[in-house]
Amino acid sequence: MSPASARVREFPLSASEFDEIRRLVLEHTGIALAASKRELVYSRLVRRLRRLKLDGFRAYIALLSRGETAELEQFTNAITTNLTSFFREPHHFDYLSETVLPQIERKNASTRRLRIWSAGCSTGEEAYSIAIALLEAKARFRGWDVRILATDLDSQVIATAAAGEYAIERLEKLSAARRSWFGELDGGCAVAGKELKSLVSFRRLNLLHDWPFKGSFDVIMCRNVVIYFDRSTQCALFERMAARQRASDHLFIGHSESLYKVCASYELIGKTIYRRLP
C-alpha cells in the first residue's frame, strides 16, 4: 500500500466533503482548486484534523462553516502555496530599476513620495528585493517619503517576512553587494538589515476583503497570486488595483498570468509588465 492511500484510510475524504472544502477555499481565499487537487487538500489539512483531534473531515467542515476565525486562519494558511525567491523573475527588477524608478523620480518630483505594494508577498523575498532596488537607487530618492507595503493572506508567511530571517542558501544567487544588505546570524541564517526593514511594512491582508489603507501606488507587484483565482475574481481584483493607481503607474504580474480579457485598465508594455491607462 502506498503512503498516500494509507493516509487516505486515516480520514476518508468523500467527494462531497472535498467539494465543500473547495467551496470554503474559494470563499475565503479566492483560490479555485481544480478537481485534481484532492490529494493536495488532504495532505495540507490532515495535520489540522490531527491537531484538533477531530474524527473526520465532516467535523472539520462543520467547524469552518461556523466561521471560527482562528481555525479559518489556520485553514487558509494550510491551503496557500507560498513559493517565492529573491529577485524572482529578474527582468521585472531590471525594468523597475532602469525604467520605472527614473520615471517616478520625474513624475513625483513635486510630492517626493513613492509607494510600492507587494500584494501576495509570501515570506517577503519580493518586498525585500524591491527594497534593495530602492536602496541601489537611493541617490534619486534622498529626502523622499518612500514606503513599500507588503501584504499576504497567510499569517505565518507574514510573520516570517517581518522577522526577515532566511536560510543563507536562499541568498546564494544574490551578488555580494546585494547580500551586504543582510546581516548574518548564528546557525547559517541571514537577516534583513535595518535599511531594508525600515522601508517595508508587512501586513496580513486578504485581497478579496476591504483594503484598509488610502492613497495610490506608483507600482504594484501582484505576481503568482491570481494564477489560482477564477477569471471573475481576477477581473474584480485588478479593477480594484487600477482604482488605486494613476495613469502610467505600473503593475507587474507573474510569468504565467495575463490581463488579456481580464482587465482593460492597463496596457501591456513588456513581459508581464503593465501600465495604467489614463
- Binding residues for ligand SAM, per CB under 6 A? 29-31, 80-84, 88, 120-122, 126, 152-154, 157, 206-208, 223-225, 254
Nearer to ligand SAM, 16 or 232 (CB): 232
Is-catalytic flag, 55? no
Q: Please report how close the Cβ of residue 112 comes to ligand SAM at its closest, in angstroms.
A: 28
Q: Measured on CA atoms in the order 203, 222, 125, 169, is the torsion positive or negative?
A: positive
Say if strands 113-119 and 145-152 run parallel, antiparallel, or are unpaired: parallel
CB of 209 to ligand SAM, least distance (A): 8
Q: Which is nearer to ligand SAM, 30 or 164 (CB)?
A: 30
Contact 118, 254 (CB under 8 A): no
Q: Helix, strand, coil shares of the chain as percentages rounded to 5?
A: 45, 20, 35
d(CA 210, CA 232): 17
For residues 100 and 219, is the Cβ–Cβ distance under 8 A? yes
* Shortest distance in whole angstroms from residue 5 CB to ligand SAM: 29
Q: Which is nearer to ligand SAM, 121 or 259 (CB)?
A: 121
Q: Closer to ligand SAM by CB, 107 or 203: give it.
A: 203
The cell for 238 is 485588478
Distance between terminal CA atoms of the chain? 60
DSSP 235: H
CB 174 within 8 A of CB 86: yes
Pick the catalytic residue from 152, 154, 218, 249. 152
Asked if 210 is an active-site residue, the reply is no
Shortest separation between residue 200's beta carbon and ligand SAM, angstroms: 14
Task: Provide the annotated active-site residues.
Answer: 44, 152
